[in-house]
Amino acid sequence: MSSIESRIAELRQQINDHNHRYYVLAAPEISDRDYDTLLNELAELEAAHPEFQSEDSPTRRVGGEALSEFTTVAHAVPMISLANSYDLQDIRDFDQRLQKLLAGKPYSYVVEPKVDGVAVSLRYENGKLVQALTRGDGRQGDDITENIRTIASVPLNLRGQVPEVLEVRGEAYMNRKGFLKLNREREEAGLAPFANPRNSAAGSLKLLDSREVAKRPLDAVWYGVGELKGIRFETHRGLLEALKEFGLRTPPLTRDCDDIEKVIQALDENLNARHEYAFEMDGAVVKVNQRALYDELGSTAKSPRWAMAYKYEPEQVETQLLSITVQVGRTGVLTPVAELEPVSVSGTTVSRATLHNWDEIQRKDVREGDTVIIEKAGEIIPAVVKVLTEKRPADARVFPEPHACPVCSQPVSKREEEVAWRCENPTCPAKSLSWTKHFVSRKAMNIDHLGEELIKVLLDAELISDPSDLYQLHQKRDTFLALDRMAEKSVQNVLDALEDSKDNDLWRLIHGLGIPQVGERTAQTLEEHFETLDELASATPENLEEIPDIGPIVAKSIISYFGNPIHQAFIERLREAGLRFTRKQAALQTAESPLTDKTVVLTGTLTQLTRDEAKELLRRLGAKVTGSVSKKTDILIAGEAAGSKLRKAQDLGIEIWSEQDLVNCIPTDPELPEGQLDLFDL
């Protein structure tokens, strides 16, 4: 072994050990900074020596390439769920049943917290993580291996003496702190916040791009097993201990209980401790400890007879609803909010609670002045559960449906398929910020130097009221310069970036318009079918629905967007500012391209192009870029250190190209208009 190879092996070992100490034993030995130093050294060595790259290196958790869809895989052993109970009597009945079924055989229990997350099954073969599946329908689930790999506490290799096959089952979740942080970021990005940590964990695990998943604060605990080869566990306690030895996190505060009275005591203790856990706990699980009895006890179609879940009701409290106010979200959605007499719920003081929408207000018959019961949905976001009508004062006020936006006073409307009232005024100040942020974002017009803070300053100074005003900024240069802390150079950078953006690809503009339902992909599809923005704007629903991937809902949203006079005026302002309204890829497409209509997958590290540039180039050369290799793939473009995708493509006999092969496809016709060959302009 070379000294570099052995240093790499040593670093991997050290980092895995520190991960284990940090995540599983909760007893870190080194500072975050020292840990990062080790990780950086490893990453640098691996980058310089791609021959020593390895799929299970601790550096390979940042996520791989995006998938086009998840593969469905059958579970080796079905993933069944648990019978639920809400009542301590159910728990006593459960014990009575066991006594009868076991006819005098001794048994005891383990009580564990019930983690409110997403059930996941991991498969380790000879100690190596080979697959992670969702529960799905219990018989088959989605392969989310790439996403699970991004969770730092999930070992890629088990420690110690490993069995041939070990399937572990548990729960992936988002802890409270991570959930609140993610929601703050989502709101800043104009995205709908998740209702609770469970939804946010589920939503994160369903992302097709594991690089995005890597940014989500996910964690997991493991409390059960599926298929086993070369190992057995006598007791559940033994199983938990063995999992821990293998380096897997197990639930905290599990309790051994000799009899049902001890179980009831443990359930009570668990309930009292629930707010101390970093994760959401929606109950406790009571399990027979002696695994040897499991076969004998068997299971019903849905759940095993040797375990039962005891669910806690969310904590509810009574308070006064003082008034109802209305918030305007970034997409213009109006949300009624209950302003409450402050009360303490689940350990925090609550003074506001969402009423979701006007249908909810009507359904629950909520009035200003009412006495209401509130709870924290998913233990985080307070919601009004019901009204105590018997306590309603004579002067309680009905809260009417809105007619106008409370921020800009423009009329509001309700779309057919939606419950929400919306402010459709694109220049509503509450919406301008998010719209402008979206317009300049990397995936839309990609305008540098215009961060959120600067956009806020420009909006506050009334230099802009929507993104079209950005293109008038050069005429207001002096006022712009006079703004707080604006240096000559910064102003020039912004103006230059804006000027450059005028010649962007058409799809970037289409995306930047902010048409509901039209994301980056759809915008690109639309560009392929319409040569100009005006053609798109005058398309009929039939024209649009003819396009693969565009369904009636998207078509309707596009038609409604372009039919709105406010949007028409906005588009005219962009036209006057000189933005490109026509697609420009014709030159590249007409050039002879061996990639026309080919399905292409990119893998490995590219050195001449960024991945986005490569994708853009491929698209403009007429190819379709997908995330995973299958029989339908025509060409695999393999960058440096390509791994499993390359092997799979070789196995399938798929044509393999280098990055240089792709670069060679860029036409070099000197008659092409200037700038078209500049890759960084793509």
For binding to ligand IVH (CB under 6 A), which residues are involved?
80-82, 84, 112, 114-115, 119, 171, 223-224, 251, 285, 304, 307, 309
Tokens of 671: 């008659």
Q: Give helix 565-576 / helix 552-563 axis angle, nearest 10°.
A: 70
The residue (of 64 and 304) whose beta carbon lies closer to ligand IVH is: 304
The rounded distance, in Å, linking the Cα atoms of 365 and 360 is 8
668-674 long-range Cβ contacts below 8 angstroms, 24+ apart: 669/591, 672/587, 673/587
Sequence-ordered alpha helix ranges (H) in 49-114: 88-102
The residue (of 115 and 333) whose beta carbon lies closer to ligand IVH is: 115
In whole angstroms, how large is the CA radius of gyration of the chain? Answer: 29
Residues in the chain: 682
In single-letter form, the type of residue at position 225 comes to V
The residue (of 223 and 435) whose beta carbon lies closer to ligand IVH is: 223
Q: How far is CA 650 from CA 607, 636, 657, in A?
A: 22, 9, 11
Say which residues have a Cβ less than 8 Å from residue 615's Cβ, sequence separation at least 6: 602, 625
The residue (of 82 and 321) whose beta carbon lies closer to ligand IVH is: 82
To the nearest whole angstrom, how small is the minimum distance from the Cβ of residue 113 to ligand IVH? 6
The rounded distance, in Å, linking the Cα atoms of 120 and 141 is 9
CA angle 370–375–380, rounded 5-degree value? 135
The residue (of 52 and 246) whose beta carbon lies closer to ligand IVH is: 246
The residue (of 171 and 527) whose beta carbon lies closer to ligand IVH is: 171
To the nearest whole angstrom, how small is the minimum distance from the Cβ of residue 225 to ligand IVH? 10
To the nearest whole angstrom, how small is the minimum distance from the Cβ of residue 52 to ligand IVH? 39
The rounded distance, in Å, linking the Cα atoms of 146 and 465 is 42
Helices and strands: H and E segment counts in the chain:
25, 24
Please pick, among 114, 376, 431, 556, the residue that the annotation labels catalytic: 114
To the nearest whole angstrom, how small is the minimum distance from the Cβ of residue 224 to ligand IVH? 5
Say which residues have a Cβ less than 8 Å from residue 229's Cβ, sequence separation at least 6: 163, 164, 165, 166
Element (H, E) at 213: helix 210-214
First-to-final CA distance of the chain: 44
Query: In the sheet that 635-638 helps form, which strands lie side by side, from edge to edge?
Result: 624-626, 599-603, 635-638, 655-658
Beta strand residue intervals within 624-680, DSSP E: 624-626, 635-638, 655-658
- Closest-CA residue to 224 (of 327, 313, 312, 304): 304
The rounded distance, in Å, linking the Cα atoms of 484 and 119 is 51
Would residue 103 be called left, alpha or beta, if left means φ above 0 and alpha means ψ between -120 and 50 degrees? left
CA atoms within 13 A on the CB side of 335: 17
DSSP class of residue 22 equals I
Tokens of 122: 């991991």
The residue (of 86 and 578) whose beta carbon lies closer to ligand IVH is: 86
The residue (of 198 and 508) whose beta carbon lies closer to ligand IVH is: 198
- Closest-CA residue to 348 (of 374, 380, 319): 380
The residue (of 119 and 455) whose beta carbon lies closer to ligand IVH is: 119
Query: 114 an active-site residue?
Result: yes
The residues assigned a catalytic role are 114
